[in-house]
């Protein structure tokens, strides 16, 4: 069985500061990892994904994530956040055979001026 | 390309009433998913279709929920009768290739009173 744990339910940060949103996963098979962002009253938008290859993955809006197999982590980072980054962020693990995604509980990023 | 279309955007019904949601996927996307997102939680898979066949409906409360995907294109999700705990956002997502991430619709926010 696969599972995802997002270690922080809320992350407050000041504008232009760096941020890291933490994600740990559990899986007995090869995994594919994703980060999605959800703005209020909208659906989920794909930020970035890890399928294979380089463990450092760059996504949209200046976000990046690093796949760490030994620590079963896939933390999301941004060196300098903007007010517009305020949203809910979801980490997800994908099944290698069905394509089904299992989502974490989400982390609310609150960027303060 | 056009995104995933969902309707209605909002729906308020009384408990024990029935409701239906509609999803139009991205053209050519064979895989379609319905997720339930309760406030403050990550999305939870209800059902997965591959073309017009059901791949996984293990988390679908079949005593009250039903879904179909006619001709492998549009899909409808129905709840009958609705309960208070069904209040949530119902998200439709489609994928052209397994494990490459989904494209989500904007969702239908259901409130059961």
Q: Which residues of B touch A34 (CB under 8 A)?
A: 101
Residue A29 scores a pLDDT above 90: no
Per-residue HEC secondary structure of chain A comes to CCEEEECCCEEEEECCCCEEECEEEECCCCEEEEEEEECCCCCEEEEEEECCCCCEEECHHHCEEEEECCCCEEEEEECCCCHHHCEEEEEEEEECCCCCEEECCCEEEEEEC
Cross-chain Cβ contact B42/A90 below 8 Å: yes
B47-91: pLDDT as tens digits: 999 988 999 999 999 999 999 998 889 999 999 999 999 999 999
Mean pLDDT, rounded, of chain A: 92
Question: What percent of chain A has a predicted confidence (pLDDT) above 90?
Answer: 73
A54-112: pLDDT as tens digits: 899 999 999 999 999 999 999 999 999 999 999 999 999 987 777 788 999 999 999 99
Would you give the distance in Å from CA B103 to the centre of its chain?
A: 13
Which of B40, B100, B104 faces A43 most closely, judged by CB atoms?
Answer: B104
**Both structure tokens of B51:** 């073309």
Q: Does B41 touch chain A (CB under 8 A)?
A: yes
To the nearest whole angstrom, how far is the Cα of B41 from the nearest Cα of chain A? 5
Rounded Cα gap, residues B15 and A84, in angstroms: 37
Q: Which residues of B touch A43 (CB under 8 A)?
A: 4, 6, 91, 104-107
SS3 B72: helix
Interface test with A, best of B38, B57, B99 (most A CBs within 10 A): B99
**Both structure tokens of A27:** 């899986």
């Amino acid at each position: 069985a696969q599972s995802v744990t997002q270690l922080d339910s809320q992350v407050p940060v000041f504008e232009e500061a760096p941020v890291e949103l933490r994600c740990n996963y559990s899986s007995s098979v090869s995994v594919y990892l994703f980060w999605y962002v959800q703005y209020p009253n909208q659906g989920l938008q794909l930020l970035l994904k890890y399928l294979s290859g380089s463990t450092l993955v760059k996504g949209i809006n200046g976000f990046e994530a690093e796949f760490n197999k030994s620590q079963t982590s896939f933390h999301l980072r941004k060196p300098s956040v903007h007010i517009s980054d305020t949203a809910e962020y979801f980490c997800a693990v994908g099944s290698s055979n069905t394509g089904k995604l299992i989502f974490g509980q989400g982390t609310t990023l609150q960027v303060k001026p | 390309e056009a995104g995933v279309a969902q309707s209605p955007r909002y729906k308020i019904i009384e408990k024990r009433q029935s409701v239906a949601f509609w999803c139009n996927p991205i053209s050519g996307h064979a895989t379609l998913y319905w997720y339930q997102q309760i406030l403050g939680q990550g999305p939870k898979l209800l059902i997965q279709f591959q073309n017009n066949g059901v791949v996984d409906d293990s988390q679908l409360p079949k005593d009250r929920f039903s879904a179909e995907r006619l001709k492998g294109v549009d899909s409808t999700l129905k709840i009958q009768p609705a309960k208070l705990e069904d209040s949530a956002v119902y998200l439709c997502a489609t994928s052209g290739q397994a494990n490459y991430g989904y494209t989500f619709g904007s969702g239908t926010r259901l409130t059961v009173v």
